[in-house]
Amino acid sequence: MKKTLTLFAVLTAMMLSSNTFAQDRYVWTDAWAFGFGFSYPMYVSINDAQLKSSAFYGGYLSIQRNFSEHLSWRLKGAYSHVSAKYDPGVPNGNARVENNMITGDLDFMYYFNPCEPITMFLLAGAGVNYNKPENASDPDLDNESNLAAQFNIGAGVDIRIGKFWRLHGEGVYHTVGNSKIDGRRGTSNSFFGGTANDTWVNADIGLLYYFGVGEPSKYCQLYTGIAEVDYNKIEDIVRRYQTVPTEVDYDRICEIVKKCMGPTKVEDKWVLVGVNFDFNKATLRPESYPILDNAAAILLSHDDVRVEVQGHTDQIGSDKYNDKLSQKRADAVKKYLIAKGVDASRLTTVGKGERDLLFKEMDPVSRFYNRRVEFHVK
């Protein structure tokens, strides 16, 4: 048994060392998974018996169906060997009761944080427990087959160690529908337990392999911020609705900006259309330069105008982080304008985060245009 556990630990360590699970977030809208591993079972509430043995061991196999990021059901089959000794004075009190249990359960599972590499879950379900106690105190139960329903409730954790692999651990509490699994009959109160029904627990550790997966989870892409903007698609859309030129012409962009935003026009709110940022960055994109050059020219020709440069982000990320990122974006624009000759005393900056969105939608294009800069004349 020790050699088997050691081998399992070595294999797990090898998989952990070969995968950078902290950054990879592989979650799907639906998936199938196969699980296997070792189990440590133990009695909790039995009749007049003491746990005086270390002979607890077992294993399990499972098939799991995830039908959303949060919800799944699982069929689990397990073998468990448990042992106990009766209290003094109980018939056959010197004998140790050995029991081999075979269980089959249907459990429903809820994942609290499915997008994280370490995912916590709760489970609840029911199943059947087949057992055959040896050296039983009640003669009619000795080596006799016993089949009972059982109710399960538990909690556990999945740790991502690869795209399709999870390290799986859980603890489950079982209430059996009768009082016979320890080989000594007691009064059964109800299916859900009571003072007489036998109960037991198991702690499992194993691996979960996802062998059939659906579409990647959009929920987790939005949650983690890994959804990428498809700039090729955006460029295709632009080319579809324009005539000439077919390539980006920054000189022509500059001419269009100057034509539409003449140097004599200053609005109270000045949205710098075209000054956008890549996801999670505060670096100015090349297409921003002609827009900012024209903005600098307008400010230089109106030396009495003072503006507040506001940076904005999209909806991804925490408020605290987005406030800092939007402040960096505003500062980047201010530095560029100063380099073009605008007096720094005329410019103030503020990070607005995601509080003033242009678009509420969460698609990549809408989020791209939310990552912008605005001027507000003071």
pLDDT grade for 52, boundaries at 50, 70 and 90: low
CATH number for the domain formed by residue range(s) 2-21+28-223? 2.40.160.20
What's the mean pLDDT when you consider all of the chain? 77
In this predicted structure, what is the pLDDT of residue 109? 96
Residue 329 and residue 291 in contact, taking contact as beta carbons nearer than 8 Å: no
DSSP code at position 89? T
Is the pLDDT confidence value at 72 over 90? yes
pLDDT per position as a tens digit, 153-196: 999 999 999 889 999 999 999 988 887 777 777 655 444 444 46
Give residue limits of the domains in the chain: 2-21+28-223, 249-377
Mean pLDDT of 311-323: 87
pTM of the complete model: 0.53
List, as one string, the DSSP characters of 294-334: HHHHHHHH-TT--EEEEE---S-S-HHHHHHHHHHHHHHHH
Q: Torsions phi, psi of 141, nearest 5?
A: -100, -10
**CATH number assigned to the domain with residue range 249-377, chosen from the 4 options 3.30.1330.60, 2.40.40.20, 3.40.190.10, 3.40.50.720:** 3.30.1330.60
Distance CA 156, CA 74 (A): 14
pLDDT grade for 64, boundaries at 50, 70 and 90: very high
In this predicted structure, what is the pLDDT of residue 165? 95
What is the torsional sign of CA 360, 366, 370, 373?
negative
Asked whether the domain spanning 249-377 has the same topology as the one spanning 2-21+28-223, the reply is no
Mean pLDDT of 240-249: 48
pLDDT grade for 65, boundaries at 50, 70 and 90: very high
pLDDT per position as a tens digit, 260-280: 444 445 556 677 766 777 777
More confident residue, 291 or 106: 106
Residue 38 and residue 204 in contact, taking contact as beta carbons nearer than 8 Å: yes
In this predicted structure, what is the pLDDT of residue 59? 97
In this predicted structure, what is the pLDDT of residue 11? 43
